[in-house]
Amino acid sequence: MTEQSARQQLVAGAADMIRRRGLNATSIREVAKHSGAPLGSTYHYFPGGKHELAAEAVRYAGDTVAGILAAKLRIGPVEGLRAFLALWREVITSTDYQAGCPVLAVSIEETPVGEERPAAVTAAGTAFTTWSSQLAESLRHHGVARSRAERLATLVVAAAEGAVAMCRAQRSTKPLDHITTELTTLLSAAVDQRRTD
Amino acid sequence: MTEQSARQQLVAGAADMIRRRGLNATSIREVAKHSGAPLGSTYHYFPGGKHELAAEAVRYAGDTVAGILAAKLRIGPVEGLRAFLALWREVITSTDYQAGCPVLAVSIEETPVGEERPAAVTAAGTAFTTWSSQLAESLRHHGVARSRAERLATLVVAAAEGAVAMCRAQRSTKPLDHITTELTTLLSAAVDQRRTD
């Protein structure tokens, strides 16, 4: 295995553990085990320890989703929306509701007072901003006013993230299916409205 | 302190810890400390240990929100929506983005294969269903068709939960403010549409 792929495997392994159990419950020892890597290698690649690895895992997840979103948004905003929601549906169904979004998972853990904000939380904020901006940009490109585009894009990301958690708690895809119907109608109307102005 | 209030204090303390750091990172020892209760009392009130206490904490949070929602929904669905979103905005701003929703927090933690689903996760599913049903019922009462009411209600709960996480990651209330504007317009239109049919 090359240096690059061994390192990449640890990052992907950390992202997978975090999307399943959250940041606090993920230890560097278990990431190494989960990824089939020797424990020593984690400190070789990530001298900053768990928080450095977690930040990379969040960036990796953020970039992966951004890549899928960018490809589909080239067709149009509604296609981008559908791909974004289908992606999360695939995550929960392919893992029997055991996994969700690692970006959400790191966002909801407290930063002890006086301590620096973990780099992973900052990376999570950036991932959310990136996805929203991609969607907003596409909506604007299809004629939706800037402020409305920004609000709709935020609604899409927020609803998808919340729905994934609801699906896991309810062991049902219904929440994601419900929001897919509503958001598809909403975004289609926003784009069409402009066309008929 | 009465038996009832000592027990209640532990439940409220557990809900507060879970909404800040999640279920995995919450220990019964720290809940006792956080609540100013002797460790022994936690085992007295919750012989089932952490998972019993966590399930009660989720039910307590679920019921508290349901109570606020019910009061405001008596005025109307849009008023209920506004109160629901204002409540989450207050949680994040009053804690400097350190706390979110305990129901979401327990929903996104993996249940190890072969193990029973923690009662707290089941309670989380019930809380989400309760809030959605309350909103859907109010929308139906104001003339929105059953299936649409259900979808809109799910969208509201999902978007609020996701937006709280986004606010914490971005240290900004913008995500909640954006979805408040969009959802208010959407629900008002759904109710008005019926009125002008």
pLDDT in tens, B120-176: 999 999 999 999 999 999 999 999 999 999 999 999 999 999 999 999 999 999 999
Q: At what angle do helices A174-195 and A119-141 cross, to 10 degrees?
A: 40
CB pairs under 8 A between A and B: 163
Q: Give the distance from residue B75's alpha carbon to the nearest chain A alpha carbon, in angstroms.
A: 24
Chain B hits for A100, Cβ within 8 Å: 108
Mean pLDDT across chain A: 93
- pTM for the model: 0.96
B109 CA to centre of own chain: 16
Domain assignment present for residue A2? The answer is no
By C-alpha distance, the chain A residue nearest B21 is A109
**A2 CA to chain B: closest CA distance, Å?**
31
Decide if A1 is inside a domain: no
Within a domain: B6: no
Closest chain B CA to residue A120? B169
Residue A151 inside a domain? The answer is yes
Rg of chain B, C-alpha, whole Å? 18
Nearest residue to B173 (alpha-carbon basis) of B111, B85, B112:
B85
pLDDT of the residue at B145: 97
Instruction: Tell me whether residue A9 is in a domain.
Output: no
Alpha carbon distance B18, B99 (integer Å): 9
With respect to residue A7, please indicate whether it lies within any of the assigned structural domains.
no
CB A111 within 8 A of CB A59: no
Q: What's the CATH number where A102 sits?
A: 1.10.357.10
ipTM: 0.95
pLDDT tens digit sequence for A159-187: 999 999 999 999 999 999 999 999 999 99
Query: Three-state DSSP class for A145?
Result: coil
**φ, ψ at B2 (rounded to 5°):** -75, 160
The yes-or-no verdict on residue B95 having pLDDT over 60 is yes
Q: Which domain holds residue B154?
A: 57-196
Neighbouring C-beta atoms of residue B2, cutoff 10 Å = 7
**What is the phi-psi region of residue B144: left when phi exceeds 0, alpha when psi lies from -120 to 50, beta otherwise?**
beta
The residue of chain B with its CA nearest to that of A17 is B110
- Residue B38's region, left for phi above 0, alpha for psi from -120 to 50, else beta, is beta
Say how far apart CA B173 and CA B188 lie, in whole Å.
Answer: 22
Answer with the residue of higher pLDDT: A112 or A55: A55
- Token pair belonging to B32: 């006792």
**Average pLDDT value for residue range A128-138:** 98
Identify the band that residue A113 occupies on the pLDDT scale cut at 50, 70 and 90: low
- Angstroms from B194 CA to nearest CA on chain A: 17
B34 found inside a domain: no
- How many domains does one find in chain A? 1
Question: In the structure encoding, which two tokens stand for residue B193, read together?
Answer: 């549409």
- State the pLDDT at residue A120: 93
Q: Give start and end residues of each alpha helix (H) in A22-49.
A: 28-35, 39-45
Residues in chain A, overall count? 197
Q: Is residue B46 in a domain?
A: no
The CA distances from residue B128 to A83, A97, B69, B159, in Å, are 25, 16, 12, 12
